[in-house]
Structure 1
């Protein structure tokens, strides 16, 4: 089996395509189940953010895997396969590992070095575990990505280059908003990105903060928490229906919902600008994918507007920190380590099966010895048993340790084949050890095992 990722991001697709390819949160479990139901894949995880959609899978056939994953991404989005295909990228084996580790470190983010992606990778792994589509490969890979991302942030200055998308978006609107202290803000949505926006605004010293959400109880909890943490802040919860009126009372609006339709139309915003009584222009930041705010907002006089598309253009001109090269070196080092660990792990069942066979041989010979020398006392029998086992262990120690080391090198899989051939190991015995891994297989892998296909 080999790791494959098929996806698209702000680097390969325009926002109009990303919008159509965006996966509603409720669609992700079905996508995972459909992925592992295909013949090439036994494990799967989906990483979906405001500027990327990626499907990871452990597959046994490259071309079939690419075709199946590409088709699934199209089936679960509003974009057709013909529309998606020109913008899809494919990474396989070590390149797929390199890609995810780079993503985890923020190297592939719209804002280089941003740390929010780690939370999104963690959520992707949790969903795969919840849906039982994350087996040994996906678990190992995503756990490694989280560790490497944290290492990059702790060992380098990548944080100096990286901001959250929220912070970057607010910085783009700063010439219009000026200092946020004492201003009035509206946040639409109460998910992770909206919560980050609300927290950022509260820390920046906004005087009034309204939070609107379809589930008003969630907005109420967030507003209450922020008011408690930030004395002097007036925070309140609104329904989505309240949003058009609330816009006219705000100096800044940040929107990031999971809606598949517009939350604010150009007419809503034009009317809000006319009704405004505050000083200065109205600023609107749309971080949703697909977009919450009509793109025609760019043309409304008295309104300053930024969205994913304009942020992508601005980030392309942002200078990259010198620490990026150091992070790239970390990624390369960790990719090599991950590959070596995976190759070494593949030989472990063969080594275990060899030792089990040796133990069976020892047990059989000791049993025959008992029949030939029935007068041995317990002390003599124990001494002989210990001696025979020690001899076998010493004979096997060097070759099994060395074969694990060699297996970690590129092309090391051949050493497992050599062991099985030289010692005439039963393939079923090796497979049984593989199935006895401490982590349970995914549901589809378990079904295939029970059906006799593995």
Structure 2
């Protein structure tokens, strides 16, 4: 079994395609099971954000796994498989681990170093746990990825060097509106991105922040956290607030438009800025054609990507070094762990041989007293343990290197181990891990 990553992101696909491929809520759960129920896939987790959809899977066969995931993504999005495949990237085995760690560190984000990706990976991990589509391998990979991401942020400060999408978007808004300390802002939605927008606008000293959300409680909590005047409204009252808003930031999970161009017609021609961080789009693209109005969505934020990449080059290089080191450590440990069931099976077989020979000795020499029998038993077991100690320790060390799985094969061949014995040990180990708290 090997780790496979199949996905598309802002680097590989246009925003219009990312919109169609975006998956949330019940659809995300359905896609998770559709992939995991395949004969080629043993484990599945899906990381879905505003600028990436990635399937992490443990597969028995590479081609079968890629086909399964690609076809499931095509069916979900309605994008013909031939069109979708041109924009998909595929990482396998060692490259898949490196990609997972790089994503967790923010190296693959639209704005390098942004910290939200850690929360998004954690959400993917928890959903896979809740839906029981994750096993030992992905459990270890995603948990390690989260630790690597935290280490990168702590040791390099890359999360400080790279701004969030919200920060980049509001910087573009400043270029259009000027300082944000006098703007009246309207934030649509109350999720993580909206929370960041409210916090950023509060620090900037916005004149007022209005938060519109389908669930009043979440909007009210965000309003209460603001350090400038803020109030919450229901999404149904959004249209009444649009005419007086200088800045509109929208990021909801709606499947259709939340702000339409006709809602703004006749509301004046002063400078206004609309920032759309949603997939699919919340704001009608025609808004950009209205007098005095500027609009930025994920497509426009791509233009800020090079500038964001240029921030903190030393930090970025330091993170790449951390990723390389962590990948090497993980792969070494994984290879060593892979040989462990074979070592256990070898020791079990040795113990069975010792038990059989001691039983035979007892039958041939029934006159032996208990003290002598115990001394013989301990001596024989010590001899076997000493003979096996050096080769089993050495095989674990050798297994940590690339190609180390051949040493496990050699052990099975040399000692004529039952091929099913290591598998039985591994299954028991996995059962223990899956039954434990994470």
Give me the TM-score of the superposition, normalised by structure 2: 0.92
Matched, 1:248 2:238: no
Matched, 1:366 2:358: yes
Counterpart for residue 452 of structure 1:
none
Aligned-residue offset at 1:349: 0.8
Tell me the alpha carbon deviations over residues 40-59 of structure 1, each in whole angstroms, 9 at most, x when there is no partner: 11111111110111111111
Tell me the alpha carbon deviations over residues 217-250 of structure 1, each in whole angstroms, 9 at most, x when there is no partner: 33233334x15xx4xx333222211112122233
Query: 1 CA distance for matches of 2:295 and 2:223?
Result: 25
Query: 2 CA distance for matches of 1:59 and 1:186?
Result: 46
Give me the TM-score of the superposition, normalised by structure 1: 0.89
Q: Does the 8 Å CA contact 2:2/2:60 hold for their aligned counterparts?
A: yes
Instruction: Indicate the SS of the match to 2:264.
Output: helix
- Picking from 325, 348, 362, the partner of 1:356 is 348
Query: 1 CA distance for matches of 2:348 and 2:203?
Result: 61
Matched, 1:220 2:190: no
Query: 1 CA distance for matches of 2:233 and 2:79?
Result: 33
Query: 2 CA distance for matches of 1:140 and 1:406?
Result: 21
Count matched residues.
Answer: 433
- Aligned pairs for 1:137-216 within 5 A: 137-181=137-181, 183-216=183-216
Query: 1 CA distance for matches of 2:212 and 2:78?
Result: 26
- Aligned pairs for 1:350-429 within 5 A: 350-374=342-366, 376-429=368-421
- Aligned pairs for 1:287-302 within 5 A: 287-302=277-292
Counterpart for residue 86 of structure 1:
86
Aligned-residue offset at 1:181: 3.5
In structure 2, the CA distance between the partners of 1:294 and 1:440, relative to structure 1 (3 Å rule), is farther
Aligned-residue offset at 1:301: 1.8
Query: 1 CA distance for matches of 2:365 and 2:267?
Result: 100
Query: 2 CA distance for matches of 1:248 and 1:149?
Result: 42
In structure 2, the CA distance between the partners of 1:439 and 1:247, relative to structure 1 (3 Å rule), is farther
- Aligned pairs for 1:228-307 within 5 A: 230=227, 233-273=228-268, 281-307=271-297
Counterpart for residue 340 of structure 1:
332
Query: 2 CA distance for matches of 1:102 and 1:272?
Result: 46
Aligned-residue offset at 1:182: 5.4
In structure 2, the CA distance between the partners of 1:312 and 1:380, relative to structure 1 (3 Å rule), is same
In structure 2, the CA distance between the partners of 1:439 and 1:151, relative to structure 1 (3 Å rule), is farther
Aligned-residue offset at 1:196: 2.4
In structure 2, the CA distance between the partners of 1:271 and 1:52, relative to structure 1 (3 Å rule), is farther
Query: 2 CA distance for matches of 1:139 and 1:16?
Result: 32
Query: 2 CA distance for matches of 1:143 and 1:132?
Result: 16
Aligned-residue offset at 1:399: 0.6
Counterpart for residue 19 of structure 2:
19
Tell me the alpha carbon deviations over residues 233-268 of structure 1, each in whole angstroms, 9 at most, x when there is no partner: 333222211112122233322110011111001222
Query: 1 CA distance for matches of 2:127 and 2:267?
Result: 39
Tell me the alpha carbon deviations over residues 193-226 of structure 1, each in whole angstroms, 9 at most, x when there is no partner: 22222233233333432222222233233334x1
- Give unpaired runs (5+ residues) of structure 1: 275-279, 444-454
Q: Does the 8 Å CA contact 1:110/1:312 hold for their aligned counterparts?
A: yes
In structure 2, the CA distance between the partners of 1:192 and 1:377, relative to structure 1 (3 Å rule), is farther
Tell me the alpha carbon deviations over residues 299-358 of structure 1, each in whole angstroms, 9 at most, x when there is no partner: 222223221110012213442422212211221222222222222221111111111112
Query: 1 CA distance for matches of 2:22 and 2:53?
Result: 7
Q: Does the 8 Å CA contact 1:265/1:294 hold for their aligned counterparts?
A: yes
In structure 2, the CA distance between the partners of 1:358 and 1:271, relative to structure 1 (3 Å rule), is farther
Aligned-residue offset at 1:442: 8.1
- Give unpaired runs (5+ residues) of structure 2: none
Query: 2 CA distance for matches of 1:303 and 1:397?
Result: 75
Once superposed, what is the RMSD of the aligned Cα atoms? 2.2
